[in-house]
Structure 1
Amino acid sequence: MRYTVSVLDAHAHLFEVALQVAQPAKNQRLSLPVWIPGSYLVREFSQHLQQLRAWQNDQPVPVKQLDKHRWQVRAEAGAPLELRYQIYAFDASVRTAFLDASRGFFNATSLCLRVLGQEDVAHALEIAPGTATVGWQVATGLTPLKVDAAGFGHYLAENYDELADCPVEMGRFWSARFTAGGVEHRFVISGAGEWLDGERLIEDTRRICETQIAFWHGQQPPPFSRYVFMLHASADGYGGLEHRNSTALICQRADLPRPPAPGEKPAALKATDGYTTLLGLISHEYFHTWNVKRLRPAEFTRYDYDRENHTELLWFFEGFTSYYDDLMLRRAGLIDDATYLQLVAKAINQVQQTPGRLVQTVAEASFDAWVKYYRVNENTPNATVSYYTKGALVALCLDLTLRAEGHGSLDAVMRELWQRCEGGPMREADLLRALKRLGQRSYEGEIAAWVHSTDELPLSSLLQGLGAKVAHDKAPLAQQLGVRVSETGGALVVKTVLRGGAAEAAGMAAGDEWLGVEFASSASDAPPEAWRIHKLDEIPALRARRVQLTALLSRDKRLVRCVLTWPTASHAVRLGVEDATRLATWLAA
């Protein structure tokens, strides 16, 4: 297969794709994927394909669309077949394709038709500038065959899976290289300001990579010969998608590191810093290079690009990666114990403040990702739990249990799984066998309780046993009331009413605009006292010691009154350092 991708019209956001099939089948069928591995939602990429045409022997041949993402070409067997089409690209996420006058980006799952029956032959990709802006460059994890100094030219993939797993960044971008584990890594950033402290970013990323390579392989080289980080800095964005030897990332421009003032040292990272969040994202996607791209669910042994690929193991592959992403920052020396424990506390509170944790198991959440996790609505927190966040806490519990019992750690379990499964497909039974061998007992009870039931996790006792101090603070006001709100443009709007909370008992509903509060007067003959509010935090001062108030709401343009009984204060976990020596056996491992 030979693809040529070029910029057709950046202002119209159009790529042009030419596909040459050397030896097509008779009535050759083609399809475009409906999803991209790593992002578990059917996204219907074919909606952006237009003007598909085909030629054979220099003559046009008919193309018939069979369904939403498949086509059949009335071709004869043997003679080379050529197809041309356009792709509209204006999704700035990491999952699809984007093109304007400033940059281009694409995943092959959005641009490259699959030639059915020939997915396992070599796939060549030519990246041509077309009408691209002068000065653009190219970055990709694909193997270069013949490329110019800017990166335009010919690349090779072993098969369609490899082509689909190597996104392409195009444009004027900041670029730097470093070596980790004996492998060259490249970091490119589009959208960065001139003030970027690239030296710090590269050094911090190098430390993350070195730490993770050592985690998996000790002194041995990693299972890839090159790696590319592709980061797009935007005004407001966040996300990442893992690939076999690269990752596509998005962050807020304000989260990039800035150089310190003359004579100052770089500030220590805090849990609330945007740059800490960015490093955690980098760590997360890099860890995926092993955990999901190679060590993967058995259901992902061969991706089916035509439909959902269900698995109950996302709590392991996403959740355990979420556990290790921040832990690797600590082990790389980028954050201290206190900062790391604050990040753990944040994860604990996120799960505890989600009523859906008592409704859906984390295994069910993994299986339902296709219809629930990526389809967020006002009831999502009441019906679901995040396989990322709770999965990370399951990993934490397993790690601390192994350590407390004196039988190694989850680190050893991960390496055991890598070797047992030969860096390939795994099942839950493989995890149980690794736990039993290293932990010297069965962990079926823990997996049943923590993964396949909605039981609470024994977090406090395990954390205290490893030297963490567990305290409790009053929960945020929204959590106490049982609501999630937005406060933009001077409007206080209820986004979610949490199950079992005071707001639900009062009859409040998602979509209500909260206009004000009303209190009964202490004098029986006096009128009620009413106040206009714009933010939730205005309520406590108005409430004083009164336990009941009436929420004044606008619902479908009608004014609604909901009597709200102030709840007993709920609590949020706060973690600190109790015993640094015991903590070091875990955090500095």
Structure 2
Amino acid sequence: MVEVQLDCGAPQRHLVGVRLTVAPRLDRLRLRLPAWTPGSYLIRDYVRHLEGLQAHQGGRALPLVRLTPACWELACDPTAGPIDLRYGVMATELSVRTCHMDAQHAFLALAAVVLEVEGERWSPHRLQLSLPSGWQAFVPLPVDGQGGWTARSFDQLIDTPVEAGPHQQIQFAVGGIPHRWVTWGGCAGGAEWLWARFPSLISDVQQVCLRCCQLMGEERPASNTYLFVLHLLDEGYGGLEHDDSTVLVYGRQRFEQPQGYRRFLQLVAHEYLHQWNVRRLRPQELCPIDYHQPAVVPSLWFAEGITSYVDQLLPLAAGLSSADDLLQDLGDDLSRYRLTPGRLVQSLRTSSQEAWVKLYKADAYSADSQVSYYLKGAVVALCLDLQLRRDGASLPLVLQQLWSSHGRWGRGYSEADLIQAFAHHSPALATQLPAWLDGVDDPDLDGYLCDVGLRLEAEMASTPWAGLSLQMKDGSLVAQRVWRDGPAEQAGVMVGDEVLALAGQRLRQPAQLAEALQADAPQRLLICRRSQVLSLRLQAQPPGVERYRLVAQASINAQQREAQRRWLTLDNGRDGTPTATALATP
């Protein structure tokens, strides 16, 4: 067993003291720190936060030879007793996938903290924590009866998020399985504000969790125990899934928006559903996970896109939002998708394969050359669901069968397995789905929406289009985005240019650009780049589509109404019963 001791006793230093104790099996030992954490497909080089690594055995210092930036080797004596490894990890980066520690709390993503000892990946690891007085730790691992916790392997250990502080936890059950909820209030008002504002939050979360189980055809969760950790900040949005837990970050400002609480429940649904889809129903490229280099996973569209699609339907099916809410939320996503130029450049499969180098490294030009596998994956999931329903099946039915054939047994799936599973219920998908994955042409979204009595309605902009958006930066008005092949790019504008004037009118605020634009003749645009003032010729285009709204058709027939009902209730296509209200028609 590898012993892991973490010292968080001086949180104001933001430095976690780490001690690993291991009995060597051979005369040479290698140590490696993971470079990324599953669920967040980006090499993060956690080693940049590690300092002061030392190794001792029997009171004698052991020289460490660095083989790579995150890998060391040492010579040792297997008969001389355990090796003692000590080092520090700076915890100053606040996110769901990094470490952060201050006087209020400690959050540790253990992939960024614990060295993997060669040959001990599948050995038990015992975890112990040293905390300030009055703090307690919230850890989704079995307790060891000695004040610590035991992981069955290194994989389970670093899949374990650790939250610690003077927090309170709330206990509830889903399908008879114990759940815990812990909130760190890292904003004004803290957790007290949350419970006063949303007293039904836990019962609502419970209903969403139950609906996730039902979606997968189960009476209880996949986990035997589950921990929710919420970081309530002023601003922020996101989450990271684990086998037996999830860590959420959500901003108070988001909660205070009209749709904020509904979007929060969608985030809960998304991360909770991941205990099935992606954690246990896992791509074969992540079986097992290589923590030290990227793995090309062409099916991330399924892992994230399917989950992103159903997370909007789950609160509705649980009775916690309305059909009109769904129109707004789904419509916002469909609008964002149709207005993303990169969807005509990057295919969905390529988006999945390039996650490591594009999605998490987006810049001001990314929207013109790439599309998120979350966003387009959700659009394809909608089309898959409605195509399956044409043939008497559904996306929930396919999910349930994939869970039975692959997820329940930890059998990694290939993309071919997914295509076969869909085509089994709808033969047309044997050719349609690969085309949707490999090509850049849109699926017949309008046709599928018509099946359930919906349509996308375009809203036109009121001003000409320059293919340029501006922002205030350090007191200057600068180009924030320049659309590919748009008027501004054709004129020669680059992201970062300071925009001074248009048609002789000084521009001081972003809104003034639209007010000054004309589409009937070229206009002189004055910019400053690298201290040089340049005069450009800008020919704006007539107003185009500003956004799309998802609306009910003026009238729908009985077949559309029934298809709509079954879709909204996440009926699996076989024997479902309605749990949500059908959309009203005008």
Tell me how far apart the structure 1 counterparts of residues 67 and 78 of structure 2 sit (CA, whole Å): 20
Question: What pairs with 1:485-496 in structure 2 (closer than 5 Å)?
Answer: 485-487=470-472, 491-496=476-481
Do the aligned partners of residues 484 and 240 (structure 1) sit closer, same or farther apart at CA in structure 2, a change above 3 Å counting?
farther
Once the two structures are overlaid, the 10-residue window that deviates more, 568-577 or 540-549, is 540-549
Partner of 2:579: none
Superposition pairs for residues 97-116 of structure 1, below 5 Å? Answer: 97-116=99-118
Partner residue of 2:92?
Answer: 90
**How far apart are the structure 2 equivalents of 1:31 and 1:303?**
14
Structure 1 letter corresponding to 2:76: A
1:530 to 488, 505, 521: 505
Q: Is the 8 A contact 2:178 2:224 kept in 1?
A: yes
Q: CA 1:274/1:560 → structure 2, altered by over 3 Å: closer, same or farther?
A: farther
Measure, in 2, the Cα distance between the counterparts of 1:280 and 1:561.
48
Letter in 2 for 1:247: T
Correspondences of 1:88-237 after superposition (within 5 Å) = 88-129=90-131, 132=132, 134-146=133-145, 153-191=147-185, 192-197=190-195, 199-219=199-219, 221-237=220-236
For 2:332 and 2:469, the matched residues in 1 are separated by: 17
Partners of 1:24 and 1:75 within 8 A in 2 = no
Task: Decide which of 361, 374, 386 is 1:388's aligned counterpart.
Answer: 374
Q: 1:530 to 1:146 in 2, by over 3 A?
A: same
Shift of 1:442: 4.2
| Contact persistence 1:435–1:442 (CA under 8 A) | no
For residues 552 and 350 of structure 2, the distance between their equivalents in structure 1, rounded to whole angstroms, comes to 34
State the secondary structure of the residue aligned to 1:381. Answer: helix
8 Å contact kept, 2:519–2:539: no
- 2:566 corresponds to: 585
Q: Show the 5 A alignment for 1:363-512.
A: 363-403=349-389, 405-423=390-408, 424=410, 425-439=412-426, 441-475=427-461, 480-487=465-472, 491-512=476-497
Report the Cα offset of residue 329 of structure 1.
1.8
Taking only aligned residues, the RMSD between alpha carbons, in angstroms, comes to 2.0
Deviations 1:477-527 (A, max 9, x none): 69x432343346654321221112222122211001223321xxxxxxxxx
Alpha-carbon distance, 1:222 to partner: 2.1
CA contact (8 A) 2:126 2:151 kept: yes
- Displacement of 1:14 after TM fit? 0.4
User: Secondary structure of 1:296's partner?
Assistant: coil
The TM-score normalised by the length of structure 2 is 0.90
Give the residue type in structure 2 aligned to 1:229: F
What CA deviation, in whole Å up to 9, does each residue of 1:521-568 have, x standing for no partner?
xxxxxxxx5233312x33344447755433322222222222222213
Which residue in 2 is equivalent to 1:261? none
Q: Is the 8 A contact 2:460 2:543 kept in 1?
A: yes
Residue in structure 1 matching 2:286, options 288, 296, 300: 300
- Spell out, residue by residue over 1:325-373, the C-alpha distance to the aligned partner (whole angstroms, 9 max, x if none): 1111221122211211221121122222222111111101111111111
How many equivalent residue pairs?
A: 553
Question: Would the alpha carbon gap of residues 310 and 475 (structure 1) be closer, same or farther in structure 2, given more than 3 Å must change?
Answer: farther
Superposed displacement of residue 380, structure 1: 1.0
Go from structure 1 to structure 2 and tell me whether the alpha carbon gap of 1:256 and 1:321 turns closer, same or farther (over 3 Å shift): same
Partner deviation per Cα, 1:432-483 (whole Å, 9 max, x = no partner): 22112222x14122112211111112111211221113211025869x4323
| C-alpha spacing 1:117/1:476, structure 2 compared with 1 (3 Å) | farther
Q: Distance in 1 between matches of 2:318 and 2:251?
A: 23
Asked whether the 8 Å contact 2:519–2:542 carries over to 1, the reply is no
Q: Distance in 2 between matches of 1:546 and 1:433?
A: 54
- Displacement of 1:279: 1.9
Measure, in 1, the Cα distance between the counterparts of 2:535 and 2:284.
53
Give the secondary structure class of the aligned counterpart of 2:551.
Answer: strand
Q: Write the distance in 2 (CA, Å) between the matches of 1:477 and 1:190.
A: 45
Alpha carbons 1:55, 1:82 under 8 Å: kept? yes
Percent identity between the two aligned chains:
34
Contact 2:385 2:395 in 1 (8 A): yes
Structure 2 vs 1, CA of residues 61 and 477 (structure 1 numbering), >3 Å: closer, same or farther?
Answer: farther
Q: Partners of 1:326 and 1:320 in 2: how far apart?
A: 11
Name the amino acid aligned to 1:14: L
- Alpha carbons of 1:539 and 1:53: their partners in 2 closer, same or farther (altered >3 Å)? closer
Between the aligned partners of 1:576 and 1:177, the Cα distance in structure 2 is: 40
- Between stretches 351-360 and 491-500, larger displacement belongs to 491-500
Residues 201, 20 of structure 1: CA spacing in aligned structure 2 closer, same or farther, 3 A cutoff?
same
- For residues 119-172 of structure 1, give each alpha carbon's deviation from its aligned partner in whole angstroms, at most 9, with x where no partner exists: 10111111221xx2x32121121111236xxxxx31011101100111100112
CA distance in 2, matches of 1:217, 1:89: 40
Residue 330 (1) aligns with residue 316 (2): yes
Q: Judging changes above 3 Å, is the alpha-carbon distance between structure 1 residues 92 and 546 closer, same or farther for their aligned structure 2 residues? A: same
The reply to whether residue 556 of structure 1 matches residue 558 of structure 2 is no
Q: Specify whether residues 88 and 541 from structure 1 end up closer, same or farther in structure 2 by C-alpha distance, changes over 3 A only.
A: closer
Query: Cα gap change, 1:179/1:488 in structure 2, threshold over 3 Å: closer, same or farther?
Result: farther
Distance in 2, matches of 1:485 and 1:185, equals 46
Contact 2:391 2:425 in 1 (8 A): no
Q: Which runs of 5+ in 1 are unaligned?
A: 148-152, 258-268, 519-528
Q: Which runs of 5+ in 2 are unaligned?
A: 571-586
Provide the rounded CA distance (Å) in 2 between the counterparts of 1:340 and 1:534: 35
1-structure distance, mates of 2:20, 2:253: 40
TM-score for the superposition, normalised by structure 1? 0.90
Q: Structure 2: how far apart are the matches of 1:121 and 1:337?
A: 49
Check the 8 A contact 1:187/1:230 in 2, yes or no. Answer: yes
